[in-house]
Every structure is written in C-alpha cells, then in structure tokens.
Amino acid sequence: MAPKPQAIFLLLSLLLSSVMAYNVTQILEPFSDFATFNNYLTRTKLADEINRRQTITVLVVDNSKMSALSSLDVETLKHVMAVHVILDYYDENKLSHISNNSALLTTLFQTTGIAKNNLGFLNVTRKPNEAMLFGSAFQKAPLSSTFSKVIITMPYNISILQISDPIVPPGIGGAKKTSSSMAPKNAPALAPVAKPAKSTANAPAPIEKSMTDAPVEAPNAVDSPAAALKANASKPTSDAPVASPTPPRKVANMSASSSSASRLVVDSIVGLVIGVVLLVAF
C-alpha cells in the first residue's frame, strides 16, 4: 500500500524543520574567542529566544572587550545582549548594499516592550572608507563599534558577525524606569515622602514645653496719675508690716462681731438719751 501524499508532505516538513533548526551556543562553542559572549547568552537565557527565531543576526564581541559588561546585573545584561541580536539576516554583502549608506535595524530588545526612544534599534552606517559602524539608534548616541568580520552564516536563517566593541545604549540600565532616566535636566527633584509621625493626642505634654509656651501676662499699664496714686497707695510701705491674709471664715466672724458691738453702742446711746429726756420732763 503506497503512502498517501499528505503523509509524505508531513514527513518532508518535519525533516526539513529539523535540518533548518540551529543552536546558537553550539555554533559558537568551537570559537573560544567568544566564550564569554556565549556564556552570557546562556546565563541570560537569550540563547533559547534566539533558537526559536527562523531569521536572526548575532553581533558577537571577543573576550577581551566583554569586561565592560561584567559589572551589570543579570537583567541589565540581558537587555544589553539583546541589543546585539538583529531580527533579520545580514551578511557582509547585504551590509555593503544598504540604501543611503545607513539604516536602522530592529533588535531583540525591541520585542520586550520596555525599549523607549529607539533603544531597541541599532544604527548601521557605511563610511566612505568602506568601514561599517554600529551604534545605538538612541538620539546622539555614538557609533562606537566597527564591523570586523563574518564568523559564520547559514543563509538565510542565522548570521554571526564580529564587531569591535559591545554596544551599550545610554540609559538602558534604567529601561524599566524611562520616565526618570529621560526626565529633562531642569526638572525639579521630587521631595522625599516623610514618614507619618506617631500620634501624640493622648500623650502628656512635657513640663518644660508647657512652661515655655505659656503666655506671660504683662503688668497693667497706668492710664492716669490718679490711677498711679491709687496703685501706689494700695502698695504697702517698706516700714509697715505686711499682714498675712485672713482665712475667709475668720473674716466673716470678725464682721459679725463688729456689727454686734455697733448695735450695743447705739442701743446704749438711745437709752441714755431717753433717760435724760424723762428726767427733764419730770
């Protein structure tokens, strides 16, 4: 029984896809000059993303120039490495025929969704001396790397090209915070948020503070000479003894006794007058 055409087509498709598949770390493994670059592809797991692509160009840098990336954290390192992966196939011939001697190339970093202000693009420019320069497409970023040579090509799936220096776009370390990294120079700095103070509603006020904050009463002003005389008259003289204040109850008793004595005197005088009048009359 002859196999069906659909089964033959499916078998050829699976065989073709297995032949066309590639592994970027295995391709770079024989090249010891790019061992650090290859290690970073594995460390950041970018190798898996590259291997899933059908058309790709990787710009590799030799070990001697990779020290510039050694201090980056893993996340930033992944962003920088992704800038070296172009989402298209480029070899030396294609680069030499770019229109207008310059082009913007889309990189793998652009697919992350956090690349702003052309951070996800590369600028490739051909100079009159036939030198090919690479750099970030970020505004005023320098063309800091030069095309060196072709390492390997598998048209039209993967191309690995060597460049002189790693490309680190300005501000890529803060790509997740582009609002702060792209803020205008004259923008005022945000004031730090103060921590909420503890509630002191039920706390007793310090004695020193209450004494300090208490208002000091000013002495009453003397409005006229008469008032001054009155005020001076009320002041005890230096020679006169100062009487101690009398308790309220004693003051009340003294008032009652003085009124009784007055009544006795009045009654005595009235009785004496009546007696004199009677004597005269009789």
Backbone angles phi, psi at 153, to 5 degrees: -135, 145
* CA atoms within 13 A of residue 170's CA, in its CB half-sphere: 12
Within 21-96, residue ranges assigned H as helices are 24-28, 35-43, 46-51, 74-83, 92-96
Dig out the tokens for 180 from the structure. 């702060």
Kindly state the tokens that stand for 155: 């048209």
Contacts of 116 (CB under 8 A, 6+ apart): 175, 178, 182
User: Quick one: CATH architecture of 23-164?
Assistant: Roll (2.30)
Q: How far apart are CA 152 and CA 159, in angstroms?
A: 6
Mean pLDDT for each 10-residue chunk of the chain (282 residues)?
55 48 93 98 97 96 96 96 98 92 96 92 93 95 96 95 96 52 36 43 42 41 43 44 44 44 62 65 60
Residues pairing with 106 in the sheet = 121
In this prediction, residue 204 carries a pLDDT of 45
Q: What backbone phi and psi angles, to 5 degrees, belong to 189?
A: -75, 145
Strands 85-86 and 102-106: unpaired
Long-range contacts of residues 246-251, Cβ cutoff 8 Å, at least 24 apart: none
- Distance in angstroms (rounded) separating the CA atoms of residues 25 and 242: 109
What local confidence, expressed as pLDDT, does residue 231 receive?
A: 45
Phi and psi at residue 42, to the nearest 5°:
-75, -45
What is residue 273's predicted lDDT score, i.e. its pLDDT? 64
Is the CB of residue 166 less than 8 Å from the CB of residue 144?
no
The domains of the chain are located at 23-164
What is the pTM for the complete model shown?
0.57
